[in-house]
Each structure stands twice: as structure tokens, then as C-alpha cells.
A and B are shown apart, each in its own frame.
Chain A
Amino acid sequence: MSERRTVFAGSALPVLLVAPQVLLTAVFFLWPAARAVQASLERGDAFGLSVRFVGLANFADLFADPLYIAAIWRTLFFCGAVSLISMGTALLLALCADAVVRGRVFYRTALIWPYAVAPVVSAAVWLLMLHPQVGWLTPALERLGIAWNYRLDDAQAMLLVILASAWKQVSYNFIFFLAALQAIPTSLVEAARMDGAGPVRRFLTILFPLLAPTTGFLLSVNIAYSAFETFGTIEALTRGGPGQATETLMMKVYRDGVVNLDLGASSAQSVVLMAGTMGLVALQVLMMRRRRDVA
């Protein structure tokens, strides 16, 4: 290790410097998470007048419900599709933007823009385009022979929420991919070019492996995003329908917790979702680490 280490004399200053972050984490993450775990073990009315401890009964009910099991698979598919599409598109755009010399700032700004759009607003825009009756893209789709009605077509509804959710995340991924691409030494790429490697080969053997840490990080972020933050988009577009075709785990948490005020069931679902996401991220970090050790 050749890192330079700063050593503080006492413990007061480092504690003080770390305190804001620790406090924020405690107040906005640890405390609510602990409350969710506590509430998941209880059952009672919304007003908290008759709450009792029920152990793992809420979890048992959850996993005995075939609709919940179906929602787990649906959410996995949804998260996978959103991550793949948003990261794939972002990588492609970043590769293009990296190659552009003129007007680079313009492209970069234009591509980062969607990130600033609120989920519900972006959903409203998608709705304007693709509403089954009044959307302005709908007649064009019909002319192509596609009977577009996501209100009554499961696959179309899923496609719509995946596209709308992925679109929103492309900008974020783009920034990271572009930064990572720019950090790759040009000498490496040029050496490969001199050895006669075409663009595809250069990408596969040099760029993509060197992007791996960024890809790994973005994968975690995208999984967390698609699991937790797509609620606004789905609620505004399909409300989980038709039937339960686009009802993800987060939609169910909202439905049971906020609409039904069934805090026990909803908290149990949050805990499952939290554990699941943490598990996925841990698995992925582990894999990244092993890979680095091998290399």
C-alpha cells in the first residue's frame, strides 16, 4: 500500500467530521428501517389503538399469497429489463458522445436533461404520446397494424412502464459511462487500433472490461432505482393494471400501506423488498470483488 494516510491527533475532530453523515444515515435510513422491521412484526388498526405483536405471521401470510409470489417474479423481470435497457442505451450514447468532438457540451447537456424531470411529469408526457384514445402516437401505431391499448393488454402495459422507467434513468447512467470512458487512456485504444482491432473488438476487449467497475456500480443503482423509485411512473401510467400486469412489489407496498392503511402487511413487504435488494447488491459486489481478485 502506497496510499498516504492522514492521521488525526485526537478523536474529537474526526468524530465531528463524520457526525453529519452518521446522523443523516441514522435519521433517514436506520431509524425508519428499524421501525419498518418493528411494524412488520405487529398487526393492528391504522390509528395504532389496538396493536399487538404477531411474530412472523405477516410474512407467513405474504408468502402464502400466490398473487404476492407472482409480483416477486414480475418485479425481478421489470428490474432486469429496466436496468438492461437503460444501461445499454446509456452505454451506446456515451460511446457515441465520446467519439464526438464538435458540440460535445451540447450533446452532453441534452442527454443529461431527462434526469431533472419528475417521474409523474415524464409519465404524463408518455401518456400524451401513447394514450389509447387521445395519444398522438396511437393513430400511427394503428396504421402499422398494432392495436395499441395498454389499458387492456398486459404486454403493452409492461412495455410502456419499462420504457418510461428506463428512459428516466438513461441520463444518470450516461454521465457515469461517459466519465468512465474519458478516464480510459487513449494510448491503450490507439495501440489496439494499430494492432488492427476493429471498433467492436476494441470495445469488447478493452473498453468494456475497463468499464466493469462503473457497470457494476450502475447495476446496483439501477436495480435499486427500478425496485424503489419507479412507483410514480407506474402509478401515473397504469396503476398496476390491467389486472395486476404491472403491479410491482413497490406498488403493492403503497397499495397496502398508504391506501389500505394496513401497516403490518405493508411493512412486511418493505422488509422483504429491502432484504431482496440488499441481497442482490451484496451478491453483485461479491462477484465484482472475486473477479478483481482473479484478475
Chain B
Amino acid sequence: MQRRDFLLGSAALAAAGVLGMPSARAQAPVTLSFWHAMSGALGERVTQVCDTFNASQAGVRVEPVFKGSYVETMTAAVAAFRAGRAPHLVQVFEVGTGSMLGAGPAVRQVWQLAQETGVRLDPAAYVPAVRGYYSLPDGRMASMPFNSSTPIAWINASLFERAGLDPAKPPATWEETATAAQVLKAKAGAKVPLTTAWPSWVLMENYGAIHDLPYATKDNGFEGLGAELVCNAPAYVKQIQRILDLAKEGLFVYGGRGASGDQLFPAGDCGISFNSSAARAGFARDAKFPFRAAMLPYDPSVKAQPNNSIIGGASLWAMTAPNRTPAEYAAAATFLAALAEPKADAKWAEVTGYVPGTNAGGQELTAQGYFARTPDAEIAVRQLARGTVTVNSKGLRLGRLPEIRSILEEELEAALQGRQSAQGALDATVTRGNKVLREFEASMRG
């Protein structure tokens, strides 16, 4: 008995200590907690953005907190919400959008925030390919684009020259890419003629967007939770078969899942690597050879005029908590609006290597002569602006997309090992992926 009382007593004490903290919060200015997943140099840039905002006005103080990787940050936000202590703003990676949209009362979508607070947060200010990923089908924005990139091709200029290829005329189609890979191997002795980071995002999801092919039913999931994968259609099979053929000839070298492929390009014996446009800063630091950016290749027999690619990166979500005041939501909206200012957006793109999210931010960079100085930075912007955004090229709105990506990469690995055909790999992806989608749907319907 005695012991039990003692335990209860200490538990109560500990709880009081934790719960007692918020009451000590200062009256003014309104303090916003902003959880983000930007480590290292990018994390410093986030702090700078917040400092600039804090210095520009007196009413709101934003406090950025680094919470680990994208996955860790999202898990932390979910756990915090369950404990009634969600941050005001949280940075969520693009593939988490489906889950956040399903979070209902846990989040205040951007359009609600604008409506309730009267702060102007205009979707039209954003580049269509960027805002589309984070918008509802009717165009209302759910979250605020923050850091956006898109996959492009990175070209080793010195290997190209050694192979007798012109780095200023990079291969535009898949056929030209295959030929270039052959020449790179034969004439320049490239150990890795062609590779990619983020296999699912680059080789499949963006392939679908560029060629205007549906990836899943219900407009890639934008129209409802009942979406089913259709990424085993003939055009996708052709794409994977092409990768398998290139791999068999030693022209495509598999670099691993997710970001594992990052390491191959800076090592110097890789001719072409597909990777995020945001990889530029890292390559500039690590690569000891001249390199250039080019657009992702396309297949003219699937679509004569390639479309825009889709983005990767993250957006900012406003979260709810019990006792959160209207003043706090208004402060969050003010901060989001400040981030969308052309000068702030241009500055952010320039110091991080992400693409400018707003149209005006891009114009600002052009006016400053930034793209003239660093033409590589403009490749991603141009690729995102190419063609008109369709239901197939605005992104994927699928629950548990990270898991679907893992499944695809697992099946691709089995195909690269020669254990199954391209069709078999994609059929298995669709079957296993749909099971994941149904589980997500069931969890959302409660």
C-alpha cells in the first residue's frame, strides 16, 4: 500500500512538472513553435528565415526546432498531437500529405487559416506544379509549399568530354540516354554510366507525370481514399524493362533505395545520375570535376511533348491543440504569408538550392540575374513549368506512400536480380501496394 502511494505521488509530481510549463508562457509577443526536418546547413537557413521574420515585426516570435528526419518529425508531430501539445507549424514531406489530409481536426488547412484569420494566402501566387501537390482537387491549398525540388539529370562534364560527347547537348530522350551510356562506358571507361537516387520517385512517379500517365485511379488518389495503383500499365512495364536491359549490359548501375544513390555521382566515375535538383549544393561541395544539370529524359513514343515533372520536398502544416487561441492561428498565418513574399522566397531558393515556390519569387531571381549566373538552377524551374499541369502530373495523393515506394524498390531489386520480369515486378507492386492502400483506407474510416 505504502509503495503504491509513493509511486502515485511521484507520478503526479512528474506530471505536474510537465503540465506546469505552458502556464509560464509570456503574454506578448505570440510565440510559435515550428518543427522542421532540415539538418546541417539547411537547418541554419531555416533559423535565418525565422530570425529575419522575428526581427521584421514585434507581434510574433517563431521558434524553429529541429526534430530529426522527415519521418521522425512527422512521428513527433503525431505523438505531440495525441498528447495535446502539437506544434503550431510542422514541416511534413510531400509523401506525408495524404496522411495529413486524413488528420481532419488535427490540422488547420491553409485555406481555413486564411478564411478564419483574414490573412491573405493566395494559391495563385504559387507555381502550379508546386501548389498542386498540396491542394484539394478544387484548388484550395491544404498546406503551404516550403521546400520544393524535382528530379533532374546530373551530368559529369569531364567524362562526357572524354567520351567525345558534348556536355552542353545532354541526351533528351531515353534512347539518346542509352546511347550516351554506351559511349560513356566504351570510350570513357565509366564504371557507372547511368544511375539514379530515389528509384521510385524518379523512374516511376516522375516518369508517369512527364508522360501524362495515371499512377493510380481516382486522379492519382486526389479524388478519394479508394484509389488503386495502376502503375503496371504497358508504358510503365516498358520503362522498367528498359532499366533491366540497361542493367544487364552494365550501363545502368543500381545505387540502392532512397537517397543511397547520392554517393555514386560525386565519386567521379558516374556519367549520368538522376537525382533531386536540391542535390546541387552537395555535389558542388563533394565533386572534384565539372558537372551540369539537364532535364530528365523522356520517351517520345509514349508522349511526343513531355509534361511537367512532379515535386519532392515538404510543406508546412498548421496544427491544432486544445487551448490554442485565434491569436496563435493568426500569428501562424502571418508567418506563412511572410514566407511567400517574393523577396523571401527568392532568397530561400538562392541559399538552399530549392526551386522558388512562387511565380514572383522566380521572377525576382531572374531580375537579380541569378539564373544567368547559375544556369543549372533554372533546369528544375523550367522542367516544372513545362506543358500544362494535368491530373497525372500534379503529384500523388496516396496514403502510406513511403511504404508503397519501399515495396516498388523491393520488387525492382528482385527484378534486377533476375528473379522476376518487369511485368512481374510491377504486378507485385500493384498487388502489395493496393493492400497497403486498403489498410490505410480502413484506418481512416475508423
Contact = CB atoms under 8 A, between A and B. Distances in A.
Interface string A12-37: 10010001001100100000000000
Interface string A212-251: 0000000000000000000000000001111110000000
Contacts of B287: none
Contacts of B102: 45
A256 B253 CA distance: 29
Interface string B85-109: 0000000000000010011111000
A46 B99 contact: yes
Contacts of A50: 443-446
A286 interface: no
A258 B413 contact: no
Contact of A131 (B7, B74, B257, B263): B263
A255 B400 CA distance: 11
B400 A258 contact: no
Given A44-B443, A45-B444, A47-B78, A260 B402 contact: yes
Contacts of A168: none
A45 B446 contact: yes
Interface string A126-154: 00000101100000000000000001111
B414 A243 contact: yes
A15 B2 CA distance: 8
Interface string B395-418: 000001011001001110110110
Given A43-B442, A43-B443, A46-B99, A133 B258 contact: no
Contacts, number: 115
Contacts of B410: 241-244
Nearest to B96: A261
Nearest to A244: B410
Of residues A23, A44, A242, A244, which shows the largest number of chain B Cβ atoms within 10 Å of its Cβ? A242
Interface in B410-446: 410-411, 413-414, 416-417, 419, 436, 439, 442-446
B253 A259 contact: no
Contact of A259 (B71, B105, B267): B71
A255 B409 CA distance: 14
B443 A45 contact: yes
B191 interface: yes
B82 interface: yes
A154 B81 CA distance: 40
Contacts of B75: 258, 261
A239 B71 CA distance: 14
B267 A133 contact: yes
A260 B403 CA distance: 7
B6 A15 contact: yes
Which size bracket describes the interface of B in this complex? 35 or more
A51 B78 CA distance: 14
B389 interface: no
Contacts of B269: 133
A262 B403 CA distance: 11
Contact of A152 (B7, B105, B191, B416): B416
Of residues B74, B106, B443, which shows the largest number of chain A Cβ atoms within 10 Å of its Cβ? B443
A151 B254 contact: yes
A262 B257 contact: no
Contacts of A240: 406
A261 B75 CA distance: 7
A22 B7 CA distance: 9
A261 B264 CA distance: 31
B349 to A, nearest CB: 29
A12 B103 contact: no
B99 A241 contact: no
A44 B103 contact: no
B406 A255 contact: yes
A133 B253 contact: yes
B288 interface: no
Contacts of B444: 45, 50
Nearest to B75: A258
Nearest to B83: A48
A193 interface: no
Interface string B251-282: 00111111010011001010000000000000
Given A11-B2, A241-B257, A133 B7 contact: no
B413 A152 contact: yes
A281 to B, nearest CB: 26
Given A45-B102, A45-B443, A133-B264, A259 B403 contact: yes
A52 interface: yes
A49 interface: yes
A131 B125 CA distance: 45
A256 B440 CA distance: 11
B365 interface: no
B3 interface: yes
A26 B7 CA distance: 9
B159 to A, nearest CB: 15
Contacts of B323: none
B106 A47 contact: yes
A151 B71 contact: no
- List 3 A-B pairs, minimum CB-CB distance, nearest first: A50-B446, A242-B413, A47-B106
Interface of A: 11-12, 15, 19, 22-23, 26, 43-52, 131, 133-134, 151-154, 239-244, 255-256, 258-262, 264-265
10 contacts: A49-B103, A49-B106, A49-B446, A50-B443, A133-B192, A151-B260, A152-B417, A153-B417, A243-B417, A259-B71
Given A45-B102, A243-B411, 8 more contacts: A23-B10, A26-B7, A43-B442, A46-B443, A131-B263, A239-B256, A239-B406, A242-B410
Interface of B: 2-3, 6-7, 10, 71-72, 74-75, 78, 81-82, 99, 102-106, 191-192, 253-258, 260, 263-264, 267, 269, 400, 402-403, 406, 409-411, 413-414, 416-417, 419, 436, 439, 442-446
